[in-house]
Amino acid sequence: MKKEESIKAQEEYVAKIKRMEALNRLAFNILDRDGDNKLSILDLNWLRNNFSSTDTPLGKEIAEVFEFFMDKNVRPKYVKFETIIDFGAYFGLAPNVTLIDDLIYTFHTKLTKTLQ
């Protein structure tokens, strides 16, 4: 019986990880405005101009990623290799994915209250 419980717990954990990865991919695709699977200076600049001035977790996250990009690719005198912010790199920089939390709150909490 314990083996079956262990297998079930492992399957639930794997399903949870896959769900979180899918949600993270959704968030990244929303942020990647031009759809090239990386956050370019144009993507980041647009995001910064529209969100980083707000005192929200998403605004702070975008400001941090923008500053990282600038420190690696723009501010140094010589850049031999461009630092690419792709799906994996973004979630290394911003592992908490505040956009997903905002979307869940908006669609689940706010929408549910509105429909009642």
Domain positions in the chain: 2-115
Task: Say what the pLDDT of residue 54 is.
Answer: 67
Task: Say what the pLDDT of residue 44 is.
Answer: 92
Residue ranges, the chain, pLDDT below 70: 1, 53-54, 110-111, 116
Question: Nearest Cα to 69, choosing from 48, 99, 98?
Answer: 48
Which amino acid is residue 99, in one-letter code?
L
Kindly list the distances between the CA atom of residue 102 and the CA atoms of 34, 67, 96, 113, in Å, as whole numbers in the listed order. Answer: 22, 22, 11, 16
